[in-house]
Amino acid sequence: MPEKVLITGGLGYIGSHTVVEMIEKGYEPLIIDNLSNTTVEVLDAIEKITGKRPQFEKVEMCDPEEMDRFFTANKGIKAVIHFAAALLVGESVEKPVHYYWNNLFSTINLLKSMKVHGVKNIVFSSSCTVYGNPDTLPVDEQAPFKPAASPYGNTKKMCEDILRDATAAAASDLKTISLRYFNPIGAHPTSLIGEVQHGEPHHLVPYITETAMGKRDSLKVFGGDYDTRDGSCIRDYIHVVDIAKAHVYAIERQLESKQKQDYEVFNLGTGNGVSVLEMIHAFTNATGKEINYEIRPRRPGDVEAVYADTKLANEELGWKAELSVEDMLKSAWDWEQKQ
């Protein structure tokens, strides 16, 4: 009997790619999503890719009664992967109260229902934003949290604190794994799922692909005077499919009782830092498309350089990113051409 795993936000960008990998590994993912940042068409795409249509229910996780009704109606859930969150850095600066309410209250409601219904395993979608501007690079999981540059980043830190305390509580039998993503980019090789943009893209790669499509006149490179090899910011870009696969490893670790601590954290990156200008050149190498760009002033809140120490995830979780920057950018370009 396939093991039931609840995937909150499972119709979102990383959630949908994870649902595909979970199905292909023989699990039975159950999806809840409030559809605030996605559509049910993603479910059709998942079915086309896998040949299976996972159970989906529209649930507002900030409504305790809705959350509990779902768990009461769906017994036998072995673990939860918690993606559901508002995730736009810029929007979180404009609407901080919404971000704290949505991201924290949904997590608290989830934990309360998991406790009532005896669900003991959770994998949490965290972020490298908790590291801020790290003191040393590559950054490992022991690096201290830094003041968040945005309410969004702060909600990730606060959710990790909530999960750590909930796991450590005396009567708790909770097992938690927080996965700290670096910069997820790209799309599924079928181009049936990917990162849907609503209006002008905030992130670098969708802005590059929209510029290549002629939807944008040119790419603004935010800052050319950083203390880096070419003056532009450095990030650890990682294929969304590699990120998705890591979640399967984390769930297997929990369900096969291989967790060594009740609360574990893993960085999900490639370990390679790539600059904005290098990404532009890599995109041209991968697709043949030239990108108009101009160096503009720095974007407030940007980190100068951050990339992962992946030793723990490689050795302990047994997971390693396999896809190259060119694979990532080619898949992003293929997805863009389907929009």
Q: Where are the beta strands (DSSP E) in the chain?
A: 4-8, 28-33, 55-58, 77-82, 121-127, 175-181, 183-185, 219-222, 234-235, 237-239, 263-268, 274-275, 293-296
Residues 6+ apart with CB under 8 A from 87: 37, 152
Q: Is 84 in the site for ligand WQD (CB under 6 A)?
A: no
Active site residues: 152
Q: Is 129 in the site for ligand WQD (CB under 6 A)?
A: yes
Strands 234-235 and 219-222: unpaired
Q: Is 211 in the site for ligand WQD (CB under 6 A)?
A: no
Burial of 147 (0-12, 13-18, 19+ CB in 10 A): exposed
Query: Per residue in 212-234, is it b (16+ CB within 10 Å) or e — as a string?
Result: beeebeebebbbbebebeeebbb
Binding ligand WQD (rule: CB under 6 A), the pick from 24, 299, 312, 327 is 299
Binding ligand WQD (rule: CB under 6 A), the pick from 59, 67, 233, 286 is 233
Q: Is 145 in the site for ligand WQD (CB under 6 A)?
A: no
DSSP reduced 3-state for 104: helix
CB of 317 to ligand WQD, least distance (A): 18
Q: Is 123 in the site for ligand WQD (CB under 6 A)?
A: no
Terminus-to-terminus CA distance in the chain, angstroms?
38
Residues in the chain: 339
Q: Is 302 in the site for ligand WQD (CB under 6 A)?
A: yes
For ligand WQD, the closer of residues 107 and 127 by Cβ is 127
Q: Is 202 in the site for ligand WQD (CB under 6 A)?
A: yes
Binding ligand WQD (rule: CB under 6 A), the pick from 34, 106, 109, 127 is 127
Q: Is 276 in the site for ligand WQD (CB under 6 A)?
A: yes
Q: Is 203 in the site for ligand WQD (CB under 6 A)?
A: yes
CB of 184 to ligand WQD, least distance (A): 6
Residues binding ligand WQD (CB under 6 A): 89, 127-129, 181, 183, 202-204, 207, 219-222, 233, 235, 276, 299, 302
